């Protein structure tokens, strides 16, 4: 379903309450059971907010990430760095905190997932539990959101590697999203220790829809993605939602289907940056999962949240999709079938990098700026 142009969408009156300031390009956030908030900064730092106050010093113990990020390369001149964060569902028992980040150099890099135990002051026992199985050049399209499912398995979004003329194996790298054995352009599903769940759709040699002649990697949960930077789980309906970047237009909201092929780059509404011509010959085709929403006016989607609870009844059950280019949040109301029925704009006035519901039931956004902010957003009325 194509979204109306931004100028035709209703703009809601909202209040923006600054909660934290002085963050450098924050990327992801996650609350601990005691209410403290962990925030990643893309240059390779982890910050903590206690009782509403940002600790002046970063959390200790991230030296492995700081070294792997190679901040003067993968952060400063590209899209890499320290990315998302997720707290283990049983953190009080395990102490594990999970991170996704770019590892390597401009010539050879990949997305990694690691975990470490957090004791309230520092990280210990650093473990890399997953690394993308193809090294790539350049600094584009790492993904990478982390999302826990109710069964305590972890979804990890991985970007397709970049735009033309970037190539791999003699072809444009974005075609890796359709390569069954590659992790690029996929959503990966892992156990909490990084092992592969036996009920993954392609585990045990099970063939997948349009998987081709080569076996699909057993870690793959869904394929045909460009660069997912928003994922959220709706516990009421048991749905996994994702937002991903198109190229020139064609940003998407998808309801992810285990084992599903979501089309990129052989089925897409996107156009080429260089020529403006369609990336794909078709926008829909049998055997491919179609998006639930397509934004032809680029919003550059980022974090995604499903608001639950009674704190803001007017927004309960709605999707909230951040936008980097849109400099705000899109509120999407759904019907019982999971179809978008209305869309409105919540203006923020800055690049929105992440959107999350806090343990207090409120909606929070991170702004992607050299001095980024954590804002609480709610209806003005």
d(CA 327, CA 322): 8
Q: How far apart are the first and last CA of the chain?
A: 30
Q: For the chain, what is the radius of gyration of the CA atoms?
A: 19
Report the C-alpha gap between 344 and 333 in whole angstroms. 9
Residue spans of alpha helices (H) in the chain: 63-69, 91-94
**Per annotation, catalytic residue among 88, 141, 179, 269:** 141
Q: Do 97 and 87 form a contact (C-beta atoms < 8 A)?
A: yes
Tokens representing 179 are 């390569």
How many beta carbons lie within 10 A of that of residue 283, not counting itself?
Answer: 17
Residue written as tokens 């769940």? 197
**Residue 182 has what DSSP assignment?**
-
Do 30 and 41 form a contact (C-beta atoms < 8 A)? no
37, 92, 307, 335 from 359: Cα distances, Å: 10, 15, 11, 25
d(CA 110, CA 189): 17
Residue with tokens 């974090």: 303
DSSP label at 194? S
- Residue 141 is among the residues annotated as catalytic for this protein: yes
Answer yes or no: are the C-beta atoms of 184 and 172 closer than 8 Å. Answer: no
**Residue 81: both structure tokens together:** 């760095």
Q: 349: which residues sit within 8 A by CB, 6+ positions away? A: 327, 328
**Which residues have C-beta within 8 Å of that of residue 206, sequence separation ≥ 6?**
none
CA dihedral 232, 235, 239, 244 (to 10 degrees): -10
Q: Give the catalytic positions in this structure.
A: 141
């Amino acid at each position: 379903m194509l979204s109306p142009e931004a100028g035709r969408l209703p703009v809601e009156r909202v209040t923006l309450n600054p909660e934290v300031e002085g963050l450098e390009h924050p990327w992801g956030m996650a609350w601990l059971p005691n209410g403290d908030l962990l925030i990643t900064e893309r240059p390779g730092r982890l910050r903590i907010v206690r009782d509403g106050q940002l600790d002046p010093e970063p959390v200790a113990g991230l030296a492995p990430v700081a070294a792997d990020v190679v901040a003067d390369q993968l952060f400063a001149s590209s899209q890499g760095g320290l990315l998302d964060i997720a707290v283990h569902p049983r953190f009080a028992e395990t102490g594990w905190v999970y991170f996704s980040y770019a590892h390597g150099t401009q010539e050879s890099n990949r997305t990694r997932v690691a975990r470490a135990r957090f004791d309230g002051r520092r990280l210990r026992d650093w473990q890399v539990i997953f690394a993308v199985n193809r090294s790539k050049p350049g600094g584009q399209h790492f993904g990478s959101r982390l999302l826990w499912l109710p069964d305590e398995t972890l979804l990890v979004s991985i970007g397709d590697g970049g735009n033309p003329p970037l190539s791999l194996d003699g072809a444009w790298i974005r075609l890796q999203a359709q390569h069954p054995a590659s992790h690029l352009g996929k959503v990966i599903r892992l156990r909490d220790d990084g092992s592969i769940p036996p009920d993954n759709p392609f585990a045990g040699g099970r063939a997948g829809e349009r998987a081709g002649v080569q076996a699909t990697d057993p870690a793959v949960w869904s394929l045909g993605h460009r660069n997912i930077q928003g994922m959220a789980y709706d516990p009421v309906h048991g749905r996994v939602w994702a937002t991903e970047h198109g190229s020139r237009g064609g940003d998407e909201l998808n309801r992810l289907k285990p084992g599903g092929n979501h089309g990129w780059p052989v089925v897409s509404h996107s156009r080429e940056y260089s020529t403006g011509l369609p990336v794909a010959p078709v926008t829909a085709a049998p055997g491919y999962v179609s998006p639930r929403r397509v934004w032809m006016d680029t919003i550059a989607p980022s974090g995604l949240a499903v608001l639950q609870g009674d704190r803001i009844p007017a927004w309960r059950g709605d999707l909230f999709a951040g936008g980097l280019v849109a400099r705000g949040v899109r509120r999407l109301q759904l019907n019982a079938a999971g179809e978008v029925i209305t869309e409105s704009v919540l203006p923020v006035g800055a690049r929105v990098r992440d959107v999350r519901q806090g343990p207090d039931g409120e909606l929070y956004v991170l702004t992607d700026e050299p001095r980024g902010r954590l804002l609480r957003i709610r209806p003005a009325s």
